Amino acid sequence: MGMCKAIQERIFTSANREYHRTRFICVRYGTVLASRGSVIPLVHEQIARGGPITITDRRMTRFLLSLDQAVDTVFTAVREARPGETYVPIIKSARVTDIAKALVADRGIAVEIIGIRPGEKLHEILVSEEESHRTIRRGDYYCILPVLPELRSELREGETLEREYSSADDLLDADRVGELLARHRLLVGELDLTSEAEILR
Protein backbone atom coordinates (compact mmCIF):
# COMPACT_ATOMS: atom_id res chain seq x y z
CA MET A 1 0.00 0.00 0.00
CA GLY A 2 2.81 2.42 0.85
CA MET A 3 4.47 1.90 -2.52
CA CYS A 4 1.16 2.45 -4.34
CA LYS A 5 0.72 5.75 -2.49
CA ALA A 6 4.28 6.83 -3.30
CA ILE A 7 3.80 6.11 -7.00
CA GLN A 8 0.49 7.96 -6.94
CA GLU A 9 2.18 11.03 -5.44
CA ARG A 10 4.89 11.00 -8.09
CA ILE A 11 2.42 10.70 -10.95
CA PHE A 12 0.14 13.38 -9.55
CA THR A 13 2.83 15.98 -8.84
CA SER A 14 4.54 15.37 -12.19
CA ALA A 15 1.47 16.96 -13.82
CA ASN A 16 2.94 20.32 -12.79
CA ARG A 17 5.29 20.04 -15.78
CA GLU A 18 2.40 19.98 -18.25
CA TYR A 19 -0.27 22.20 -16.68
CA HIS A 20 1.27 25.42 -15.41
CA ARG A 21 -1.95 27.17 -14.42
CA THR A 22 -2.80 24.51 -11.80
CA ARG A 23 -0.87 23.53 -8.69
CA PHE A 24 -0.70 19.76 -8.17
CA ILE A 25 0.18 19.23 -4.51
CA CYS A 26 -0.13 16.42 -1.95
CA VAL A 27 -0.64 15.91 1.76
CA ARG A 28 0.61 12.92 3.70
CA TYR A 29 -0.24 11.88 7.23
CA GLY A 30 -0.63 8.84 9.42
CA THR A 31 -3.79 7.20 10.66
CA VAL A 32 -6.47 9.57 11.93
CA LEU A 33 -7.52 8.87 15.53
CA ALA A 34 -10.28 6.24 15.68
CA SER A 35 -10.57 5.90 11.91
CA ARG A 36 -11.97 2.65 10.57
CA GLY A 37 -9.52 -0.26 10.81
CA SER A 38 -7.05 1.52 13.10
CA VAL A 39 -5.83 0.46 16.53
CA ILE A 40 -8.33 2.37 18.70
CA PRO A 41 -11.55 0.88 17.26
CA LEU A 42 -9.88 -2.56 17.38
CA VAL A 43 -9.10 -2.21 21.09
CA HIS A 44 -12.64 -0.88 21.76
CA GLU A 45 -14.07 -3.97 20.08
CA GLN A 46 -11.80 -6.31 22.00
CA ILE A 47 -12.71 -4.64 25.31
CA ALA A 48 -16.42 -4.97 24.48
CA ARG A 49 -15.86 -8.72 23.97
CA GLY A 50 -14.02 -9.00 27.28
CA GLY A 51 -10.57 -9.33 25.74
CA PRO A 52 -7.92 -10.27 25.19
CA ILE A 53 -6.26 -7.19 23.72
CA THR A 54 -3.93 -8.28 20.90
CA ILE A 55 -0.74 -6.36 20.16
CA THR A 56 1.66 -7.51 17.49
CA ASP A 57 4.88 -6.11 19.02
CA ARG A 58 5.58 -4.18 22.24
CA ARG A 59 7.93 -1.82 20.38
CA MET A 60 5.33 -0.72 17.84
CA THR A 61 4.55 3.00 17.57
CA ARG A 62 1.98 5.00 15.64
CA PHE A 63 1.38 8.68 14.90
CA LEU A 64 -1.69 10.18 16.63
CA LEU A 65 -3.50 12.59 14.33
CA SER A 66 -6.91 14.10 15.05
CA LEU A 67 -9.50 14.64 12.34
CA ASP A 68 -9.12 18.42 12.85
CA GLN A 69 -5.37 18.16 12.27
CA ALA A 70 -5.93 16.15 9.10
CA VAL A 71 -8.37 18.76 7.75
CA ASP A 72 -6.05 21.62 8.75
CA THR A 73 -3.22 19.93 6.84
CA VAL A 74 -5.31 19.90 3.67
CA PHE A 75 -6.35 23.54 4.03
CA THR A 76 -2.81 24.69 4.83
CA ALA A 77 -1.44 22.88 1.79
CA VAL A 78 -4.11 24.45 -0.42
CA ARG A 79 -3.19 27.91 0.88
CA GLU A 80 0.59 27.64 1.00
CA ALA A 81 2.03 24.74 -0.98
CA ARG A 82 3.88 25.40 -4.21
CA PRO A 83 3.68 23.16 -7.26
CA GLY A 84 4.83 19.60 -6.59
CA GLU A 85 5.17 19.93 -2.82
CA THR A 86 3.89 17.48 -0.20
CA TYR A 87 2.80 18.70 3.24
CA VAL A 88 3.25 16.49 6.31
CA PRO A 89 1.94 17.53 9.75
CA ILE A 90 4.41 17.50 12.64
CA ILE A 91 2.55 15.44 15.23
CA LYS A 92 3.08 13.33 18.32
CA SER A 93 3.19 9.56 18.38
CA ALA A 94 2.79 6.82 20.96
CA ARG A 95 3.55 3.22 21.70
CA VAL A 96 0.61 0.98 20.85
CA THR A 97 1.00 -0.62 24.29
CA ASP A 98 0.39 2.78 25.93
CA ILE A 99 -2.71 3.35 23.78
CA ALA A 100 -4.07 -0.04 24.83
CA LYS A 101 -3.20 0.60 28.49
CA ALA A 102 -5.09 3.91 28.49
CA LEU A 103 -8.17 2.30 26.91
CA VAL A 104 -8.20 -0.79 29.13
CA ALA A 105 -7.69 1.30 32.31
CA ASP A 106 -8.46 -0.83 35.39
CA ARG A 107 -10.60 -3.46 33.69
CA GLY A 108 -8.14 -6.30 34.21
CA ILE A 109 -8.33 -7.44 30.59
CA ALA A 110 -5.44 -9.59 29.38
CA VAL A 111 -3.02 -8.38 26.72
CA GLU A 112 -1.51 -10.87 24.25
CA ILE A 113 1.55 -10.28 22.07
CA ILE A 114 0.76 -12.12 18.83
CA GLY A 115 3.75 -11.26 16.64
CA ILE A 116 4.21 -8.84 13.80
CA ARG A 117 2.17 -9.51 10.66
CA PRO A 118 3.58 -9.78 7.11
CA GLY A 119 4.23 -6.31 5.72
CA GLU A 120 3.53 -4.57 9.03
CA LYS A 121 6.08 -1.98 10.19
CA LEU A 122 7.17 -1.29 13.74
CA HIS A 123 7.06 2.45 13.09
CA GLU A 124 5.25 4.70 10.64
CA ILE A 125 7.54 6.70 8.34
CA LEU A 126 6.05 9.93 6.99
CA VAL A 127 9.27 11.28 5.46
CA SER A 128 11.71 8.68 4.18
CA GLU A 129 15.48 8.91 4.47
CA GLU A 130 15.67 9.44 0.70
CA GLU A 131 13.25 12.40 0.97
CA SER A 132 14.84 13.99 4.03
CA HIS A 133 17.50 15.92 2.08
CA ARG A 134 14.75 17.80 0.23
CA THR A 135 12.39 18.28 3.19
CA ILE A 136 12.16 21.58 5.05
CA ARG A 137 10.05 22.85 7.92
CA ARG A 138 7.29 25.39 7.41
CA GLY A 139 5.54 26.23 10.66
CA ASP A 140 3.80 23.11 11.98
CA TYR A 141 4.51 21.09 8.85
CA TYR A 142 7.32 19.40 7.00
CA CYS A 143 7.32 20.30 3.33
CA ILE A 144 8.75 17.69 0.97
CA LEU A 145 10.05 19.56 -2.04
CA PRO A 146 9.40 18.08 -5.49
CA VAL A 147 11.59 15.24 -6.68
CA LEU A 148 11.77 16.92 -10.10
CA PRO A 149 14.58 19.51 -10.04
CA GLU A 150 12.82 21.79 -12.53
CA LEU A 151 9.99 22.25 -10.01
CA ARG A 152 12.19 23.11 -7.03
CA SER A 153 15.11 25.08 -8.44
CA GLU A 154 14.11 28.23 -6.55
CA LEU A 155 12.56 26.59 -3.48
CA ARG A 156 15.57 25.74 -1.35
CA GLU A 157 14.78 27.81 1.72
CA GLY A 158 15.54 26.60 5.25
CA GLU A 159 17.49 23.67 6.63
CA THR A 160 16.60 20.19 5.50
CA LEU A 161 15.88 17.20 7.75
CA GLU A 162 18.85 15.14 8.82
CA ARG A 163 17.01 11.80 8.79
CA GLU A 164 13.65 10.16 8.22
CA TYR A 165 10.56 11.33 10.12
CA SER A 166 9.31 8.34 12.08
CA SER A 167 6.68 7.65 14.74
CA ALA A 168 9.58 6.44 16.91
CA ASP A 169 10.95 9.99 17.15
CA ASP A 170 8.72 12.01 19.52
CA LEU A 171 6.75 9.68 21.76
CA LEU A 172 4.14 10.76 24.29
CA ASP A 173 4.43 9.09 27.68
CA ALA A 174 1.58 6.91 28.94
CA ASP A 175 -0.09 9.69 30.95
CA ARG A 176 -0.16 12.07 28.00
CA VAL A 177 -1.57 9.36 25.75
CA GLY A 178 -4.46 9.00 28.20
CA GLU A 179 -4.97 12.77 28.27
CA LEU A 180 -5.05 12.92 24.47
CA LEU A 181 -7.61 10.13 24.19
CA ALA A 182 -9.75 11.74 26.89
CA ARG A 183 -9.62 15.10 25.08
CA HIS A 184 -11.00 13.45 21.95
CA ARG A 185 -13.62 11.46 23.91
CA LEU A 186 -12.12 8.11 22.94
CA LEU A 187 -11.83 6.48 26.36
CA VAL A 188 -14.09 3.48 26.65
CA GLY A 189 -16.11 4.86 29.57
CA GLU A 190 -17.22 7.78 27.40
CA LEU A 191 -18.47 5.58 24.55
CA ASP A 192 -21.33 3.24 23.86
CA LEU A 193 -19.34 0.27 22.58
CA THR A 194 -22.41 -1.11 20.81
CA SER A 195 -22.46 1.92 18.52
CA GLU A 196 -19.87 1.79 15.76
CA ALA A 197 -20.95 5.24 14.63
CA GLU A 198 -20.01 6.68 18.01
CA ILE A 199 -16.62 4.94 18.02
CA LEU A 200 -15.76 6.24 14.56
CA ARG A 201 -17.20 9.73 15.01
Residue extents of the structural domains in the chain? 2-190
Q: Does domain 2-190 have CATH number 3.40.50.720?
A: yes
- DSSP code string of 73-136: HHHHHHHHPPTT-EEEE---EEEHHHHHHHHHTTS---EEE--PPTT--SS-EEE-HHHHTTEE
Give all strands of the β-sheet with 141-144 in edge-to-edge order: 26-27, 86-89, 141-144, 135-138
Distance of CA 72 to the CA centre of its chain: 14
Per-residue pLDDT of the chain (201 residues; tens, 9 = 90+): 678 888 999 899 999 999 989 999 999 998 888 788 788 888 999 999 998 999 999 999 999 999 999 999 999 999 999 999 999 999 999 999 999 999 998 888 999 999 998 888 899 999 999 999 999 999 999 999 998 877 765 545 568 888 999 999 889 999 999 999 999 888 876 544 444 434 333
Three-state DSSP at 13 gives helix
CA distance 114 to 149: 45
pLDDT in tens, 117-148: 888 889 999 999 999 999 999 999 999 999 88
pLDDT in tens, 146-168: 988 777 655 455 688 889 999 99
What are residue 119's DSSP bridge partners? none
Query: Judging by DSSP bridges, how do beta strands 125-127 and 165-166 pair with one another?
Result: antiparallel
pTM of the model: 0.85
